[in-house]
Amino acid sequence: MIVAERKSIPELLDMLPNNSKILVLGCGTCVTVCLAGGEREVSIISSALRIASKARGLGYEVSEFTIERQCDNVFIEQAIEAIEKVDVVLSLGCGAGVQAIAERFLKKPVYAGLNTKFLGILEERGVWTEKCSQCGSCVLHEYGGICPVTRCAKHLLNGPCGGSREDRCEVRPDRPCAWQLIYQRLKNIGELERLEKIEPPKKWSASLSGGPRVIIREDHRI
Amino acid sequence: MSSRDKETTIVAFCCIYCAYAAADLAGSMRLQYPSNVRIIRTPCTGRLEVEYFLRAFENGADGVLVAGCEEGSCHFKEGNLIAKRRVNYARKLLAESGLEADRLKMVNVSAAMARLFTEHVREMAETVQRLGPSPLNRAKTRAQQEIKP
């Protein structure tokens, strides 16, 4: 899922115009699961904004609404009435959600209330970790299902670097060395011979360095 | 109770298994404590969400006290520890929003600690007195004073 983190209240206050009607718009999918932009966070952020507004005399009129998915027009339809009543929208969706709302409402300022961080998983309660860099050409099968592009701090496809201490990464000692994990995993599944192969340079043109990516499925187009 | 206490309101969320019983005992023991505290009985402090604290301030509280069981003695094992983390998060949000974090505080008392309960309430009342009415209420207080002859 997409993992995001809330912006601080002072950052939001800098962004939002004084004396305006603000809709705090939540998203019921990824950012709900990572506790950043779901219905509950909408309620908390709205409350904090109302407190800040009263304490500093900012003149906000804050309303709340959450839709199932901000990146999908079908669900955005449900928010039309709420969005039309306000001056600005503070979206608690991911970067894609914010842009989907902005594209749909041409004359309405839409601000991002979250910092979208990465594609990851819930590692343990309250801890999310990055697992995928969306490089566009997946090599996970070569590495026992552990991504060296994302989880090795040096993105080494032919690791390890030799700098790890015990099983810890030398760049981030609080994180495990991805290459230690890859070695263990390949050993466990009996595929250690994969490490004898030298991986050629990766095609980065499939990643974001080739510009914004588009997928077109002709069989689904109308 | 000082005249300034009368201008302020403290909301105390009290766990039914400890602080609420301690408040009850304080009454039976005729212990005095500031009368501007409004006690809300809760099934466990772990039931309290961050929104509850923020809403209390939005609705006019000048201070919020969260009183749960002593650590290690929660009736539901770790409800008070959950509450502690939520209170800390809410304190951070309050500070970001322009309210003093000290207006929200969590304390731990057992059902037998009536005296300690009253001390915590008194401390909270003193904190609120030191900080003055919540900035959210100051405008209202000023307006009320202007109306007075």
**How large is the average pLDDT for residues A23-35?**
97
Interface A-B, measured as beta-carbon pairs within 8 A, has a size of 46
Asked if residue A102 and residue A18 are part of one domain, the reply reads: yes
| Inter-chain residue contact B98 with A50, CB threshold 8 Å | no
- The residue behind tokens 């019921």 is A28
Dihedral of alpha carbons A73, A211, A33, B54, sign: negative
Confidence of residue A100 (pLDDT cuts 50, 70, 90): very high
CA atoms of A212 and A136, how far apart (whole Å): 11
CATH topology of domain B3-147: Rossmann fold (3.40.50)
The answer as to whether A209 is a domain residue is: no
Mutate to test the interface with A, among B96, B104, B141 (most CBs of A within 10 A): B96
Share of chain A above pLDDT 90, in %: 95
- Residues in chain A with CB shorter than 8 Å from the CB of B132 are none
Q: Does A192 touch chain B (CB under 8 A)?
A: no
Number of domains in chain A: 2
Q: How far is B138 from chain A (nearest CA, A)?
A: 9
Q: Does B92 touch chain A (CB under 8 A)?
A: no
| B1 vs A14, residue with greater confidence | A14
Last residue of a domain, one of A118, A147, A175: A118
Tell me whether residue A28 is exposed, middle or buried, using C-beta atoms within 10 angstroms of its C-beta: 0 to 12, 13 to 18, 19 or more.
Answer: middle
In chain B, which residue's Cα lies nearest the Cα of A42? B51
Q: Does A11 touch chain B (CB under 8 A)?
A: no
Confidence of residue B137 (pLDDT cuts 50, 70, 90): confident
In chain B, which residue's Cα lies nearest the Cα of A6? B93
**How large is the average pLDDT for residues B115-137?**
96
Q: Which of A8, A43, A54 sits opposite B136 (nearest CB)?
A: A54
Asked if residue A168 and residue A77 are part of one domain, the reply reads: no
∠ CA(B2), CA(B4), CA(B5), 5° rounding?
Answer: 70
**How large is the average pLDDT for residues B108-126?**
97
pLDDT for residue B142:
55
CA atoms of B104 and B65, how far apart (whole Å): 6
**How large is the average pLDDT for residues A60-73?**
97
| A72 vs B141, residue with greater confidence | A72
Question: At A73, which CATH number?
Answer: 3.40.50.2300
- Res B106 pLDDT > 80: yes
Residues in CB range of B126: below 8 A, 6 or more apart? none
Q: Which of A47, A55, A56 sits opposite B54 (nearest CB)?
A: A47
- Residues in chain B with CB shorter than 8 Å from the CB of A47 are 51, 54-55, 58
Query: Which residue range forms the structural domain that includes residue A169?
Result: 133-200
pLDDT for residue B74:
96
The answer as to whether A18 is a domain residue is: yes
In chain A, which residue's Cα lies nearest the Cα of B96? A9
- Residues in chain B with CB shorter than 8 Å from the CB of A8 are 96
Average pLDDT, chain A: 96
Q: Which of B51, B134, B139 sits opposite A47 (nearest CB)?
A: B51
User: Helix, strand, coil proportions of chain B in percent (round to 5)?
Assistant: 55, 15, 30
> Of A145, A148, A131, A130, which is closest to residue A202 (Cα–Cα)?
A148
Asked if residue A182 and residue A87 are part of one domain, the reply reads: no
pLDDT for residue B12:
98
Ranges of each domain in chain B = 3-147
The answer as to whether A213 is a domain residue is: no
| Inter-chain residue contact A51 with B96, CB threshold 8 Å | no
B33-77 confidence digits (pLDDT tens): 999 999 999 999 999 999 999 999 999 999 999 999 999 999 999
* ipTM associated with this complex: 0.89
A141-192 confidence digits (pLDDT tens): 999 999 999 999 999 999 999 999 989 999 999 999 999 999 999 999 999 9
